[in-house]
Amino acid sequence: MPTAPDRDADERRAELDLARRARRGDAAAFDELVQRFHRPVLRFCWRLLRSADAEDLAQDAFVRAFVHFERFDPERPVLPWLIAIARRLCLDVLRRRKVASRLEILAVSDPPPPGPEGEASVREQLTRLDRALADLGEGPREAVILFHIEEMSYRDIAAALEVPMGTVMTWLHRGRAQLKKALDVEPHA
C-alpha cells in the first residue's frame, strides 16, 4: 500500500506529465488540469473578490493559461502558476473598483449551529476574523489565505505571489501577529 509521500510523488509525476502534454497542445491534458485546479483557483478568486465576478475570473485565468501555456515551465507545479494568473486578474478588478483596502474575505465556512448562544458566538468570531483579515495588507492577507486556507507551501505561495520565499515568511509572520492581536482584543460592548 503506497504511503502518503509515495502518493504525493505519484500525483506530482502525473501533474508534470499532464503539464508537458498540455504544453505540446494536448487539449485533453489541459482539460484535465482545469478539472484538477478549478476549485482552488475559484476559491482563491472568491476570497479576494467575494462576488459573482470570481467565477468569471477563474475561467479567464484558465483561458489565459491555455493561450499562454508556452510560458509555463512544465517542471514546476501548475497551481502556483494558475494562482498567479488569477491573482493578477483579481487585482485588476479590485483596482478598477478602487476597493482593494476594503476586501471582505470569508475565511471559514459556518459550522453547524451548536445552539442559539453558541451560534451567536461563532458568528461574532467569524465577523471579527473577517474584519481582521480585511484589515491586513494585501501581501500578508494573500499569504495567510494561501497558507492556512489553501494549504500551499511557502515555495508555491512565493511562485503564486511572485515574491521571494523570505517575503512570504515575513508576510505570514506579520499577518499572524496582526490577526492574533486583533482577535485577542475583547469585542466592543
Same domain, 94 and 140: no
Q: Inform me whether the pLDDT recorded for 61 exceeds 90.
A: yes
CA dist 13 and 51 (Å) reads 35
Beta-carbon contacts of residue 149 (< 8 Å; ≥ 6 apart): 43, 47, 107, 108
At 103 the pLDDT is 34
Q: Are 8 and 93 part of one and the same domain?
A: yes
Domain count, the chain: 2
CA distances from 49 to 6, 11, 26, 40 (A): 36, 30, 32, 14
Prediction pTM value: 0.62
**Among candidate residues 53, 47, 52, 58, the one with its CA nearest the CA of residue 134:** 47
Tell me the per-residue pLDDT of 113-130, one tens digit each, with 9 for 90 and over.
Answer: 556 666 777 778 778 887
pLDDT for 135 beyond 90: no
Condensed to tens digits (0 to 9), the pLDDT of residues 29-53 reads 999 999 999 999 999 999 888 888 8
136/100: higher pLDDT: 136
| Residue pLDDT, tens place only, 155-182 | 999 999 999 999 999 999 999 889 888 8
Which CATH number does the domain housing residue 30 bear? 1.10.1740.10
> Helix H segments across 50-77?
53-67
Q: Is the pLDDT of residue 93 over 60?
A: yes
- Domain range enclosing 63: 1-103
Tell me: do 4 and 19 sit in the same domain.
yes
11 shares its domain with 89: yes
CATH number at residue 142: 1.10.10.10
